[in-house]
A = this chain, B = another copy of it.
Amino acid sequence: MTQLSAMILAIEDETPILRFLRAYFEGRGFSLLEATTGAQGLSMAASHNPAVILLDLGLPDMDGLTVLARLREWTQTPIIILSARGQETDKIAGLNAGADDYLVKPFSVGELEARIRVALRHAARQGAGEEEAVFTSGDLRVDFAAHKVMVGDREAHLTPIEFKLLAVMARHAGKVITQAQLLREVWGRSATEQGHYVRVYVHQLRHKIEREPARPVHVKTETGVGYRLE
């Protein structure tokens, strides 16, 4: 999904390798940031928040493991070490210091891509459960992931348009939304004339989520302006 332009930060001082990485990853749905020193790498990691970090251990200004430790102080972004040193002890040290993977130069760039994808998979899985995606207000409960609306303990079945309408209002809960805005967001850019659509659907929506549709508690109307979800 969002992998379409995953940002990779390469902290690497050898320009041939950088050029090589750039040639490979551009046009493959990745964008590549380059840092040639440890200090620059640290600051770019902080400012650009990349999805993955490729870290060369042989940097000119700092020890690679120090850079790693500094990064791990504040971020859990996947870090893949690229190193010329392939000794078992080097690998173990790197992995134990907080790296997620360790490739020995010269490495196959195809394998690197596969391992980056593994790292992105991990990151995606983590981030998954973070968004609550539930809106609550009084006896009204909207679960966006499940596409479910509860009124008290009774489920209200909404059609896609009704649901969208409610979702847009929920996103701006408490604020007034003009009919034009609702039209644009629910029916699309093209429909700017059909102002009455909104009235009709607000009516249906109220019938489904208000106890007394004639005296609405949730979807309030601001005459001359628009609607507001409390």
Chain A residues engaging chain B, CB cutoff 8 angstroms: 76, 88-89, 91-92, 95-96, 99-101, 108, 110-111, 113-115, 117-118, 122, 125-126, 128-129, 145-147, 159-160, 163, 174-176, 222-226, 228
Complex CA gap A226/B43 in Å reads 44
Give chain B residues whose Cβ lies under 8 Å from the Cβ of A159. Answer: 223-224
Given A100-B118, A114-B91, A114-B96: A175 touches B146 (CB 8 Å cut-off): yes
- The one of B76, B125, B160, B175 in contact with A76, judged by C-beta atoms closer than 8 angstroms, is B125
Given A145-B176, A176-B147, A225-B147: A91 touches B111 (CB 8 Å cut-off): yes
Contact B122 A108 (CB under 8 A): no
Query: Closest 4 interchain pairs by CB?
Result: A160-B224, A95-B114, A147-B176, A88-B108
Give chain B residues whose Cβ lies under 8 Å from the Cβ of A145. Answer: 174-176
Give chain B residues whose Cβ lies under 8 Å from the Cβ of A129. Answer: 125, 128-129
Contact A117 B95 (CB under 8 A): yes
Contact A88 B110 (CB under 8 A): yes
Sample (22) of A-B pairs whose CB atoms are under 8 Å apart: A88-B108, A88-B110, A89-B110, A91-B111, A91-B114, A92-B113, A95-B111, A95-B114, A95-B115, A95-B117, A95-B118, A96-B117, A100-B122, A125-B126, A129-B129, A145-B174, A145-B176, A147-B176, A147-B222, A147-B225, A159-B223, A160-B225
Q: How far is the CB of A68 from chain B (nearest CB, A)?
A: 13
| Residue of A76, A111, A117, A125 ringed by the most chain B CB atoms within 10 A | A111
Contact B92 A111 (CB under 8 A): yes
With A91-B108, A160-B224 already in contact, 17 other A-B pairs whose C-beta atoms are closer than 8 Å: A88-B111, A91-B114, A92-B111, A92-B113, A92-B114, A95-B111, A95-B114, A96-B114, A99-B118, A100-B122, A101-B101, A129-B129, A145-B176, A147-B176, A147-B225, A159-B223, A160-B223
